[in-house]
């Protein structure tokens, strides 16, 4: 079985808009891959093995998986500083991503970008991005290109509730509606912008910002992968059919800190209660929810899902071994990689 997003496009096979049993299993595999990769990053970060900071996506996996299940390598996606899940769900190579995070030459950006810049244009992954909200205009531009080419590609922008307060969002909502661009804005509302609860910095309902432009909107449970899958399926059909942009606000929750080691920065300060985190962990884990559903519906036995989990763990161990064995990145490349050679 291959992970969702590895060049396959979901067909929306079940009437009424639900994923087929095979698609549900691929969604499960993708979400587990993201989770196990990130748990390994969490542990290796705590052990001081990583050369830089990582922003983890644990708890939000259903969004990346449910969205990217509808995309092929030809479609575009822009990501955020919390981008590992988007990269993997869109079909990025786990070994190359780990090598990048470990700052090795074998990395997807030759070790020069690190965690916050994983990208692979051959898969339509236009990049994670350390600048909050930067993906909005990149995705809109890619959608403009797709519209000019008339090739049926769609462009997806993942961004956070914090990024929804950036002015660029209004520019992108405006022009993509006016020009009917094939772009899907996916706001991952995890309730926090760094250490600030969303309610303290964000007025009104985020989706209302898109509604004001007359854009098709959906506010969904981002921890229910079926909900995500359905809403995005509709948005992708709209975009490919020339019906223009869509906006999806997926409510979810970040289980880890804003980044690993946030406790050092906060030096004892707190911005959320431990009980709140525990509640999401225990009662709203998107992977546990999907597992329970698959078993209850008879789509899979617990043992089948355990086998998927075991295979994923092997892949993660392999990717980490590959990353650790890699050659350190070549700092000289910083001088040459950014610019195309001058034409003579
Ligand atoms: C333009 C810009 N402003 C501020 C920052 C600092 N910063 C990094 S992440 C972040 C919070 C982003 O919150 P959100 O968009 O909700 O994404 P989340 O971290 O919750 O996934 C901020 C303010 C930045 N990187 N770029």
Pick from 173, 198, 294, 184: nearest CA to 251: 198
Q: Is the CB of 160 under 6 A from ligand 1?
A: yes
Q: Is the CB of 161 under 6 A from ligand 1?
A: yes
Q: Is the CB of 262 under 6 A from ligand 1?
A: no
B/e letters for 229-258, b = 16+ CB within 10 Å, e = fewer, are bbbbbbbbebbeeeebbbbbbbbbbbbbbb
At 1 the pLDDT is 29
Pick from 221, 209, 153: nearest CA to 177: 209
Length of the chain: 344
What domains lie within the chain, and their CATH numbers? 20-323 (3.40.50.970)
- pTM as predicted: 0.95
Q: Is the CB of 249 under 6 A from ligand 1?
A: no
Q: Which of 108-112, 134-138, 241-245, 263-267 shows the lowest mean pLDDT across its residues?
A: 263-267
83-98 tens-digit pLDDT: 999 999 999 999 999 9
Which atom of ligand 1 is nearest to 163's Cα? 15
- Nearest residue (by CA) to ligand 1, atom 2, is 132
Q: Which of 5-14, 117-126, 142-151, 227-236 shows the lowest mean pLDDT across its residues?
A: 5-14
Residue 116 alpha carbon to ligand 1 centre in Å: 12
Residue 117 alpha carbon to ligand 1 centre in Å: 14
Q: Ligand 1: which of 194, 209, 256 to mutate, most ligand atoms within 8 Å of CB?
A: 194
204-216 tens-digit pLDDT: 999 999 999 999 9
HSE, CB side, 13 Å, CA atoms: give it for residue 313. 6
CA distance 313 to 300: 19
| Token digits of residue 77 | 């996606």
Residue 334 alpha carbon to ligand 1 centre in Å: 25
Q: Ligand 1: which of 61, 128, 130, 132 to mutate, most ligand atoms within 8 Å of CB?
A: 132
Q: How confident is the model at residue 16 (pLDDT cuts 50, 70, 90)?
A: low
E-state strands within the chain: 76-78, 155-160, 183-189, 192-193, 196-197, 216-221, 246-251
Residue 267 alpha carbon to ligand 1 centre in Å: 20
Q: Is the CB of 6 under 6 A from ligand 1?
A: no
67-80 tens-digit pLDDT: 999 999 999 999 99
Query: Checking DSSP bridges between strand 216-221 and strand 246-251, what pairing results, if any?
Result: parallel
Residue 24 alpha carbon to ligand 1 centre in Å: 32
At 11 the pLDDT is 43
Pick from 137, 139, 138, 119: nearest CA to 127: 119
Pick from 121, 261, 136: nearest CA to 188: 136
268-318 tens-digit pLDDT: 899 999 999 999 999 999 999 999 999 999 999 999 999 999 999 999 999
CA distance 328 to 99: 9
Residue 214 alpha carbon to ligand 1 centre in Å: 27
């Amino acid at each position: 079985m291959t992970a969702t997003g590895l060049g396959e496009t979901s067909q929306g096979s079940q009437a009424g808009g639900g994923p087929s049993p095979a698609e549900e299993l691929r969604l499960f595999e993708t979400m587990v891959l993201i989770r196990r990769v990130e748990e390994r990053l969490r542990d290796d970060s705590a052990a001081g093995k990583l050369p830089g900071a990582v922003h983890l996506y644990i708890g939000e996996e259903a969004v990346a998986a449910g969205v990217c299940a509808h995309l092929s390598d030809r479609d575009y996606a822009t990501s955020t500083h919390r981008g590992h899940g988007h990269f993997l769900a869109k079909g990025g190579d786990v070994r190359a991503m780990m090598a990048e995070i470990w700052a090795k030459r074998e990395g997807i950006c030759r070790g020069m970008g690190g965690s916050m810049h994983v990208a692979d244009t051959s898969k339509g992954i236009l990049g994670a991005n350390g600048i909050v909200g930067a993906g909005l205009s990149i995705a809109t531009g890619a959608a403009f290109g797709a519209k000019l080419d008339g090739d049926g590609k769609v462009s997806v922008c993942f961004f956070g509730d914090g990024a929804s307060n950036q002015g660029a969002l209004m520019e992108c909502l405006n022009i993509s509606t006016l020009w009917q661009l094939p772009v899907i804005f996916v706001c991952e509302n995890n309730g926090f912008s760094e250490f600030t609860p969303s309610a303290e910095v964000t007025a009104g309902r985020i989706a209302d910002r898109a509604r004001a432009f007359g854009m098709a909107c959906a506010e969904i449970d981002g921890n229910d992968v079926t909900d995500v899958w359905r809403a995005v399926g509709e948005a992708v059909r709209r975009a490919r059919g020339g019906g223009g942009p869509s906006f999806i606000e997926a409510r979810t929750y970040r289980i880890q800190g804003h980044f690993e080691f946030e406790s050092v920065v906060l030096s004892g300060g707190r911005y959320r209660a431990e009980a709140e985190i525990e509640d999401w962990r225990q009662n709203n884990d998107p992977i546990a929810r999907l597992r329970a559903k698959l078993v209850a519906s008879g789509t899979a036995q617990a043992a089948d899902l355990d086998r998927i989990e075991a295979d994923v763990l092997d892949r993660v161990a392999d990717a980490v071994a590959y990353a650790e064995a890699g050659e350190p990145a070549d700092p000289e490349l910083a001088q040459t990689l950014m610019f195309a050679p001058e034409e003579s």
